Amino acid sequence: MKYTNRRQSLGSQFSRTLFVIPSGELRMRSHSVAYRFKVASDFLYLCGVEVAEAYLVVAGEKSYFLSDHIGAASALWEDVNSLMSEDLEKLFNIEFAAVSKLQDILQDHLRDFDRLAFPVGRSEWLDRTLLEQVSFQNRRRSRFTSIPLALCDSRTLVGRLRHKKEADEIDLMRMAAQKSSAVYQELFQKNLLGASERDVANFLESEFMKQGMHWTAYETIVGSGERGTTLHARATERILRSGETVLIDAAGEWQGYCADITRVLPVGKSFSKEQKTIYEIVLKAQKEVLKKIRPGETLASLHETAQQFLLQGLKEAGITGEISELMPHSTSHWIGMDVHDPSAYVDESGNAVKLSEGMSFTVEPGLYFRDKSSAYYGIGVRIEDDVVVTDQGCEILSSASKEVEEIENLRSKLELN
Ligand SMILES: [Mn+2]
C-alpha cells in the first residue's frame, strides 16, 4: 500500500505531469563484469523494487511497470532484472507491460497532460525516445490544445515528495545512522599506528557489512594528517602517524537509506593542544546548530549560526583567517535515500525552504587549515551528524562519540608501543 499511496500522491500532486521513472541500467566495470547494480532512488521510492532496466510510468491515477523480464521464472545466469515474488506484492495495483510498449502507453495518455517528467540526461535511450515522443505529440497536439507539451526533470518533482520522511523512513534512517555509529565506536578503540588509510577504510566497510548493511552510503573518506584538509580525501596507502589526526567520513546504507557521519580522532591516544583547540571550536559550533534546529528555521540560517560560532571560537583562540577559506562548504545537505537527497533548497518563490517535521539533513561544520604559514597548518576537522526535524526541535540520528574526553578515554585503553 505504501508504494501505491506514493504513486497516487505523485499523480495527484502533479496532476498535469506524466512521469517516466527508470530503474537504471547495468554498467560494465570490466570486460565482462558489471558494476554492482544500484537502483535509482526515485524508482525505489515509488515501487520498492530493485531491478535493472525497468520503467515506471505514472499517469495520474494509472501506473505501469515496464520490464522485459516479467514472469521470467528462475533465471539461470543473472536475476538482476527479474522480479521476485515479493516484488509482485509491492506492484499491486499496477499494470505490467514490455518496455517496447512505452511509446504506445505515452501516446495513449500524453494528450491528457501538459508536462512529461523524467530524469533528463540519465539514459541516452530514454532521452531520445521521450524527445521523439514530445516532438510527435506536439505536431498533433495543436488540434486539441494550445498548451505545448513541456519536458521537465522528474527528480525535482519526486524530490518534493521525498522531502518529508514518513515514520517508517525515519526508522530506516535511524537504523542506518545507529549501525554506522556503532562502527565508529569500534574504530575509536582500534590501534591505528602503522595502519594505512586503506586499512582504515577496509576495516570500516567490513564492519558496516557485519552490521548487516548492504553497502556504504558513499565512498569512504579517510584523510590522515594534512590530507584531512582535503574535503573528500580518498583512502590511499599513506601510513597513519603518531601525533596526527585522521578525518573519517563514512557510513553505511540500510535498506535503501543513507547515513553520513564524519569524525576526527587522534591516531595515537590524545589530541595535541592545537588539534584540540580546533576540534573544540568545531564541536561547539556543531552543537549550537543542533540546538537551533526546529520547524521554521532554514538551512541558510543554520549555516549562519555555524559560521558565527566558528568565527567566535577562532577569535577567542586568537586565530585569524577568512571563514570562507577555512570552511569552504555548506553546513548541511538533505539526506535520505540519497546521501545528498535531491530535494530543493529553495521554494517556488526562491526563498529558502523552511524546515518542517520529517525533513532530514546533515549538520557538518568544519575547519581546514591549508595555509602553510599558519601554526595550525595541516589540521582538518569536520564533525557531522544526521538529524530529522521533529515538532519542537530535532532528533539526532547518529550517536558516535564526539566529546574530546570521550574519544580520548576510548583511545587511552589502547595498548600502544
Ligand atoms: Mn555530508
User: What pLDDT digit, counting tens, does each position of 211-247 carry?
Assistant: 999 999 999 999 999 999 999 999 999 999 999 999 9
Last residue of a domain, one of 142, 161, 180: 161
CATH number at residue 358: 3.90.230.10
C-alpha 260/C-alpha 253 separation (Å) is 9
C-alpha 367/C-alpha 383 separation (Å) is 10
Same domain for 279 and 186 = yes
In the reported structure, the alpha carbon of residue 362 is separated from the centroid of ligand 1 by a whole-number distance in angstroms of 6
In the reported structure, the alpha carbon of residue 344 is separated from the centroid of ligand 1 by a whole-number distance in angstroms of 16
In the reported structure, the alpha carbon of residue 333 is separated from the centroid of ligand 1 by a whole-number distance in angstroms of 7
**Position 74 pLDDT exceeds 70:** no
In the reported structure, the alpha carbon of residue 260 is separated from the centroid of ligand 1 by a whole-number distance in angstroms of 5
> Within a domain: residue 292?
yes
Last residue of a domain, one of 126, 161, 196: 161
* pLDDT tens profile 42-52: 999 999 999 99
In the reported structure, the alpha carbon of residue 233 is separated from the centroid of ligand 1 by a whole-number distance in angstroms of 13
pLDDT of residue 73: 59
C-alpha 302/C-alpha 91 separation (Å) is 40
Using pLDDT thresholds of 50, 70 and 90, give the confidence band for residue 57. Answer: very high
Same domain for 408 and 377 = yes
Looking at the 3D structure of the chain, how many domains does it have? 2
Strand-pair partners of 382: 366
pLDDT of residue 330: 97
In the reported structure, the alpha carbon of residue 109 is separated from the centroid of ligand 1 by a whole-number distance in angstroms of 40
In the reported structure, the alpha carbon of residue 285 is separated from the centroid of ligand 1 by a whole-number distance in angstroms of 16
C-alpha 111/C-alpha 207 separation (Å) is 52
Using pLDDT thresholds of 50, 70 and 90, give the confidence band for residue 417. Answer: very low
H helix or E strand, kind and range, residue 400: none
In the reported structure, the alpha carbon of residue 411 is separated from the centroid of ligand 1 by a whole-number distance in angstroms of 25
In the reported structure, the alpha carbon of residue 340 is separated from the centroid of ligand 1 by a whole-number distance in angstroms of 7
* Grid cell digits, residue 241: 602517524
Q: What is the average pLDDT score of the chain?
A: 94
C-alpha 371/C-alpha 390 separation (Å) is 40
For residue 324, give every residue at least 6 positions away whose Cβ sits within 8 Å of its Cβ, in sequence order, or none: none
pLDDT of residue 416: 59
What percentage of the chain carries pLDDT values higher than 70? 98
Same domain for 204 and 106 = no
| Residue located via cell numbers 602503522 | 194
> Within a domain: residue 417?
no
In the reported structure, the alpha carbon of residue 329 is separated from the centroid of ligand 1 by a whole-number distance in angstroms of 10
C-alpha 340/C-alpha 334 separation (Å) is 6
* pLDDT tens profile 87-143: 888 888 899 999 999 999 999 999 999 999 999 999 999 999 999 999 988 888 888
Q: Average pLDDT, stretch 163-179?
A: 98
In the reported structure, the alpha carbon of residue 369 is separated from the centroid of ligand 1 by a whole-number distance in angstroms of 19
Same domain for 154 and 169 = no
Last residue of a domain, one of 110, 128, 161: 161
Same domain for 218 and 363 = yes
CATH number at residue 91: 3.40.350.10
In the reported structure, the alpha carbon of residue 402 is separated from the centroid of ligand 1 by a whole-number distance in angstroms of 16
Range of the domain at 58: 2-161
Q: Average pLDDT, stretch 75-81?
A: 77
> Within a domain: residue 378?
yes
**Position 304 pLDDT exceeds 50:** yes
In the reported structure, the alpha carbon of residue 16 is separated from the centroid of ligand 1 by a whole-number distance in angstroms of 35
* Grid cell digits, residue 106: 505515452
Same domain for 181 and 103 = no
In the reported structure, the alpha carbon of residue 397 is separated from the centroid of ligand 1 by a whole-number distance in angstroms of 14
Instruction: Give Dmax over CA atoms of the chain in angstroms.
Output: 83
> How would you classify residue 212: left for phi > 0, otherwise alpha for psi between -120 and 50, otherwise beta?
left
C-alpha 86/C-alpha 42 separation (Å) is 19
Query: Would you say 277 and 313 are in contact if contact means Cβ atoms under 8 Å apart?
Result: no
Q: Average pLDDT, stretch 49-61?
A: 95
Same domain for 214 and 136 = no
C-alpha 209/C-alpha 204 separation (Å) is 9
In the reported structure, the alpha carbon of residue 372 is separated from the centroid of ligand 1 by a whole-number distance in angstroms of 26
pLDDT of residue 76: 74
Same domain for 130 and 172 = no
Same domain for 329 and 193 = yes
Same domain for 236 and 201 = yes
Q: Average pLDDT, stretch 141-147?
A: 86
| Closest among 67, 59, 48 to 10, alpha carbons compared | 59
**Position 75 pLDDT exceeds 80:** no
pLDDT of residue 146: 87
> Strand, helix or coil at 233?
coil
| Closest among 55, 60, 61, 28 to 40, alpha carbons compared | 55
- Strand ranges, E, within 12-138: 17-22, 55-59, 62-66, 95-97, 115-118
Query: Would you say 383 and 364 are in contact if contact means Cβ atoms under 8 Å apart?
Result: yes
